[in-house]
Amino acid sequence: MSNEHKEWPLWEVFIRSKAGLDHKHAGSLHAADAQMAIENARDVYTRRMEGISIWVVESKHIHASNPEEADAFFDPAQDKIYRHPTFYNLPDELKHM
Residues that bind another protein (CB under 8 A): 8, 29-32, 35-36, 39-40, 42-44, 47
CA pair distance 37, 61, nearest whole angstrom: 15
* 8 Å CB contact between 11 and 53: no
Query: Quick count: other Cβ atoms within 10 Å of Cβ 15?
Result: 21
Angular region, 82: left φ>0, alpha ψ -120 to 50, beta rest: alpha
Q: In the complex, what is the shortest distance from the CB of residue 13 to another protein, in angstroms, rounded to a whole number? A: 11
Comparison of 18 and 47: residue with beta carbon closer to another protein: 47
Q: In the complex, what is the shortest distance from the CB of residue 39 to another protein, in angstroms, rounded to a whole number? A: 7
Q: In the complex, what is the shortest distance from the CB of residue 59 to another protein, in angstroms, rounded to a whole number? A: 14
Comparison of 23 and 42: residue with beta carbon closer to another protein: 42
